[in-house]
Amino acid sequence: MDLHLDGKTALVTGGSAGIGRAVALALVAEGCRVVVVGRDEARLAAMRAEVGADKLVTVVADLATSAGADKVAKTTIAQVGVPDILVNSAGSSQGGLFWTIDDTVWDESLNLKLMGTIRMLRAIVPLMMERRSGNVVTIVGNSGRQPGARFLPGSAANAALLAVTKGLADEVAASGVVINAISPGPTRTDRWTGLMAKAASASSRTIADVEATHVAAIPNGRLSEPEEIARYVVFLCSPLATAATGTSLTIDGGATRSLA
Ligand X SMILES: NC(=O)c1ccc[n+]([C@@H]2O[C@H](COP(=O)([O-])OP(=O)(O)OC[C@H]3O[C@@H](n4cnc5c(N)ncnc54)[C@H](OP(=O)(O)O)[C@@H]3O)[C@@H](O)[C@H]2O)c1
Footprint on this chain of ligand X (rule: CB under 6 A): 14-20, 37-40, 43, 62-64, 89-93, 112-113, 139, 141, 154, 184, 186-187, 189-192
Closer residue to ligand X, CB minimum distance, 120 or 169: 120
Minimum CB distance to ligand X, residue 62 (Å): 5
66, 119 in Cβ contact below 8 A? yes
**Best CA proximity match to 226, nearest among 42, 30, 55, 21:** 21
Q: Least distance to ligand X from the beta carbon of 2, Å?
A: 27
CB of 161 to ligand X, least distance (A): 9
Q: CB 232 → ligand X: shortest distance, Å?
A: 13
Strand ranges of the sheet holding 85-88, from the earlier edge strand across to the other edge: 56-60, 33-38, 9-13, 85-88, 134-139, 177-184, 248-251
**Which stretches within the chain are classed as H helix?**
18-29, 41-51, 66-80, 103-109, 115-131, 152-172, 190-203, 207-216, 226-237
Residue 219: count other Cβ atoms within 10 Å of its Cβ. 11
Of 51 and 129, the one with the shorter C-beta distance to ligand X is 51
Which of residues 107 and 130 has its CB atom nearest to ligand X in the complex?
Answer: 107
Nearer to ligand X, 46 or 244 (CB): 46
